[in-house]
Structure 1
Amino acid sequence: MFGHLDTAYSQLTGWLYTEALQPALYALGLMDYADDLYQWLDFAIFGLIGIVISYVVCRPLEAAMPVERWPGRGPVYTDMIYTLLARVGVLPLLAFVLLNGAQSRLDGLIADTGFVPPTLETIFPVLREYPLLALAAYVVVLDFGEYWRHRFQHRFGWWWALHSVHHAQRQMTFWTDDRNHILDDVIAALWFGALALLIGVPLGQFPVILLILRIAEAMSHANVRLSYGSVGERLIVSPRFHRVHHGVLSVGQSGKNYAVLLPVWDWIFGTADFRRDVYPETGDPDAPEGLVTGGWFRQQALGLKRLALALAGR
């Protein structure tokens, strides 16, 4: 079954590349970027698949058992723009491709010394025999890295100035996952891409891992009154678990529930709040109104302004 799906997917990407993208590159004189654009296709297609899956799963749940209902949904429509801009995977691809090129040069220098940098598969050779187990291991390690990146976003004032774009949303839905300042996205992409390269994630598995984490994040941001129970809440981040993180009393350095996929990191490092009946109002009380209800450009500009003030110590 998986072999047929892989064949069909390869045929689809091949057709899109040869019939649409390659002629456009040739006409624009950009054939030097042909290989990179072919790799981008995976990110774009998986990004669109992620949007479809997130919508099919989350939208009916939001309609059936919402935490809140709003008379107007203007801020939600802005979040949709964020999602469409982010899910094509441009930033993660750029980070992975650029870092991959840098690592190739670094590997060449290291090879001259005879030293072989360890990866997960060299440390645990059994992973080479079980691709799904290897994929799960990559997800766990990358999720651990995302937990700490998220904590740092709340810890450092300049980083919080950018991340507060995400937390300003008072109408949180599954679209809110991608509501980020573009500089914050760049840092996140470099962080994620560097860690993926460090542990040896194959390029072909990279978009699959992104798809898994993004669907999980979309679900955790959903406007749904849903808990996974006393056991499930400790296994997978739920909408209730993550909503506590977005609560008005959980901003900046006072945050809880930083995990993206696995709550075990919050449990280990003492940042978990497992109260199952808590569904707080979301938003950042200190955020200017433009950061809440402004359009994409307005929010990006305000994020830069807040970053400048933070760097200036104000």
Structure 2
Amino acid sequence: MSPFLYLAAIAVPSIAIALCQSMHSGLPRLRRASSDGVLIDGRYRNVAVNGGVALAAYVAGIVLLGGYLVDAGRTSRWYAPLLVLLLYDFGYYWLHRALHWRSLMRRVHWVHHRTSHPTAVDSLYLHPLETVAGLVVLLASMAAVGPLGPGAFVATAIAHSLVNVLVHANLSIPARLAWLTNHWSARHDAHHSSSGNFGTITPLWDWLFGTSARTQHA
């Protein structure tokens, strides 16, 4: 697989985080609190560590399960990444609910919930075990649908990262085409101050299993 594809998978979400963070001075956030903007000790060190952990998880997955994940000689159907992400979202919904069990919240998920109203950079502000667990769900979803062609594999990885960034962006973008980004941000921002909205990409699982929480749009 071309090294440029790997570089794209790293560069695109990194640029998205930088852009979303820079937009906070010019666009309204969905919600604010008096503590917003206060740096948490070790926040960016944690983000850097989790970026490295995510990269290592992908490399380990390709080395150990490469034949199930990606096939260099294969061209995937255009909808293959969509199937992977839908399957991932179902798996992550249940992982996320499990992370809110008292023992796992206290030992793992509390790190992410230290910020009441997250921003894009907080998409990587996690306990490293949570980063690994989320990527295990993603790689398992790829293996279930795949093996994927190189382009579909990288497209899925980029889409997953971008959604994660936009979900945490906490921005209200005044453009009709940005309705999905605004919806994602509102739902996840509400999650940080309520018990619900465990899904990421679609609210379907929260609707089906009765865990939807009220959102507040700017």
Q: What is residue 221 of structure 1 aligned with on the other side? A: 168
Paired letter, 1:258: F
Superposition map of 1:161-180 within 5 A? 161-170=107-116, 172-180=118-126
| Offset, 1:57 | 4.3
Give, in whole Å, the separation in 2 of the partners of 1:224 and 1:161.
29
Structure 1 gap segments, 5+ residues each: 1-8, 15-40, 105-118, 120-127, 280-314
Q: Could you tell me whether the CA contact under 8 Å between 2:76 and 2:148 is conserved in 1?
A: no
Q: Quote how far apart the aligned CAs of 1:64 are.
A: 1.9
Decide which structure has the larger Cα Rg and report it.
1
With 184-193 and 79-88 compared, the bigger mean Cα shift is at: 79-88
The answer for the alignment partner of 2:103 in structure 1 is 157
Between the aligned partners of 1:226 and 1:258, the Cα distance in structure 2 is 23
Cα deviation, residue 271, structure 1: 0.7
**2:28 counterpart of 1:65:** yes
In 1: Cα distance, 2:146 partner to 2:111 partner? 32
CA pair 206-64 structure 1, distance change in 2 beyond 3 A: same
Partner of 1:182: 128
* Distance in 1 separating the partners of 2:202 and 2:86: 8
Indicate whether 1:136 and 2:82 are aligned: yes
Deviations along 1:50-89, one digit per CA (max 9) or x if unpaired, are 11023224531564213337686422x8444333333454
SS at match of 1:97: helix
Percent identity (aligned): 20
Q: Does 1:272 align with 2:218?
A: no
Q: Which amino acid aligns with 1:197?
A: A
Q: Are 2:190 and 2:216, in contact at CA under 8 Å, matched by a contact in 1? A: no
Counterparts of 1:138 and 1:209 in 2: how far apart (Å)? 7
Aligned to 2:155: 208
The CA deviation at 1:164 is: 0.8
- 2:46–2:125 Cα contact (<8 Å) kept: yes
> Partners in 2 of 1:97 and 1:156 — Cα distance?
33
Note the C-alpha offset of 1:217: 1.8
Aligned match for 1:148, one of 91, 94, 98: 94
Relative to the length of structure 1, the TM-score reads 0.55
Unaligned runs of at least 5 residues, structure 2: none
**Per-residue deviation, 1:207:** 3.4
Spell out, residue by residue over 1:113-152, the C-alpha distance to the aligned partner (whole angstroms, 9 max, x if none). xxxxxx9xxxxxxxx9872212212221112211111111
Which amino acid is 2:136 matched to? L
CA contact (8 A) 2:170 2:186 kept: no
Distance 1:71 1:58 in 2: 13
Distance in 2, matches of 1:236 and 1:143, equals: 18
Partner amino acid for 1:269? Answer: F
Residue 82 in structure 1 maps to residue 46 in structure 2: yes
Q: 1:203 to 1:83 in 2, by over 3 A?
A: farther
Measured on the aligned residues, the alpha-carbon RMSD in Å equals 3.6
Trace 1:1-314 onto structure 2 (pairs within 5 A). Answer: 10=2, 13=3, 42=6, 45-57=8-20, 59-61=22-24, 63-66=26-29, 67-68=31-32, 73-75=38-40, 78-87=42-51, 89-100=54-65, 131-155=77-101, 157-158=103-104, 160-170=106-116, 172-202=118-148, 204=150, 205-225=152-172, 237-247=183-193, 250=194, 255-277=195-217
Q: For 2:37 and 2:168, how far apart are their aligned partners in 1?
A: 19
Q: Return the letter of the residue paired with 2:133.
A: I
1:197–1:227 CA distance, 2 compared to 1 (3 A): farther
Q: Deviations over 1:278-299 (max 9, x none)?
A: x8xxxxxxxxxxxxxxxxxxxx
Distance apart, 1:224 and its partner CA: 2.6
Q: Closer, same or farther in 2 for the Cα pair 1:184/1:215, shift >3 Å?
A: same
